[in-house]
Amino acid sequence: MAGYDNRDGFIWMDGALVPWRDANVHILTHALHYASSVFEGERCYSGKIFKSRAHSERLLESGRLLDMPIPWSVDQIETAKTDVLKANNLTEAYVRAVAWRGAGEDMGVASRKNPVRLAVAAWEWGAYYGDAKMQGAKLDIAKWKRPSPETIPTAAKAAGLYMICTMSKHAAEEKGCSDALFMDWRGYVAEATGANVFFVKDGEVHTPLADAILNGITRQTVIGMLKDMDIPVHERHILPEELSGFQQCWLTGTAAEVTPVGQIGEWHFQVGDMTRNVAAAYEKLVRS
């Protein structure tokens, strides 16, 4: 497959569809130097983006949290996504909306004189964890910690928050793992590099409280599904030593969807009935 910079098709940029290879930015773009960028990852199933408006709303909120107001409305972003899918003839796709501080009069930390730009791209993308979707992913324990909300707006889906994710995923892959699990700065279980985590114990579900991690849209969806199934859900602080007492585990995210986990560090989990049932229910929901 060609690199992401060298493909046929179209990308929406600042109000217009441009040929894929022409969707470029200047080397002095503020975001490239100072991580002034927010984004959304979305999936389109059978021509319909799941929770599309919720993603567009969160994109605008992420921009607000980073003091980077995005000059496009939810309706305009929704139209852009529709136009991109149509222009690229896609019905099953991953959709990436990204907003960033562009090049302008400022080239220091301050960037108020620089325009906030927006782009939407879409492409075909299969299971994020490959065969792990069926067999159960293997996770490393990241050496980095998720930061305190007092150090960065952790509720924003901001590019800068993913630097330690890239490093941790590289380290995990070198060990033969699919991903890595973070603890937060307090030592509580947090999340994977691009997905939230759930655990099962004695028929009940436990998941980290989203007080220092992104409260994922898929996470919220799955919690709602579990409650509809009358399965108790405990959103709480989880200590690493509790992992030995959980029987099942899965990850949730737009890219990950619902992916079973078979191992985290030294701890092993069953790919059990609840995990499979939740994955099947989610698959049915996104295509309904």
Question: Are residues 102 and 230 both part of a single domain?
Answer: no
Question: Are residues 202 and 248 both part of a single domain?
Answer: yes
Comparing CA positions, the residue from 124, 117, 130 lying closest to residue 91 is 124
Q: Which of 85, 103, 123 is the last residue of a domain?
A: 123
Question: Are residues 59 and 177 both part of a single domain?
Answer: no
Tally of domains within the chain: 2
Q: Is 169 a residue of the active site? A: no
Residue 245 CB burial class (10 angstroms; 0-12, 13-18, ≥19):
exposed
Residue 215 is assigned to a structural domain of this protein = yes
Q: Given strand 48-49, what is the order of strands in its sheet?
A: 16-19, 10-13, 116-123, 93-101, 37-45, 48-49
The domain in which residue 65 lies consists of: 10-123
CB 103 within 8 A of CB 26: yes
Residue 271 is assigned to a structural domain of this protein = yes
Q: Compute the distance between CA of residue 130 and CA of residue 137 in angstroms, rounded to an integer.
A: 9
Question: Are residues 264 and 136 both part of a single domain?
Answer: yes
The series of mean pLDDT values per 10 residues for the chain, 288 residues long, is 91 98 97 97 97 98 97 98 98 98 95 96 86 83 97 96 97 97 98 98 98 97 98 98 98 96 97 96 96
Question: Are residues 201 and 229 both part of a single domain?
Answer: yes
Question: Are residues 81 and 55 both part of a single domain?
Answer: yes
Name residues whose C-beta falls within 8 Å of residue 223's C-beta, 6 or more positions apart in sequence.
Answer: 207, 233, 235
Question: Are residues 117 and 193 both part of a single domain?
Answer: no
Q: Which of 123, 142, 176 is the last residue of a domain?
A: 123
Question: Are residues 230 and 178 both part of a single domain?
Answer: yes
Res 1: pLDDT: 66
C-alpha distance across the termini of the chain, in Å: 31
Q: Which of 81, 138, 157, 169 is catalytic?
A: 157
| CATH code for the domain in which residue 143 is found | 3.20.10.10
Residue 80 is assigned to a structural domain of this protein = yes
Question: Are residues 92 and 155 both part of a single domain?
Answer: no
Beta bridge partners of 201: 204
Residue 5 is assigned to a structural domain of this protein = no
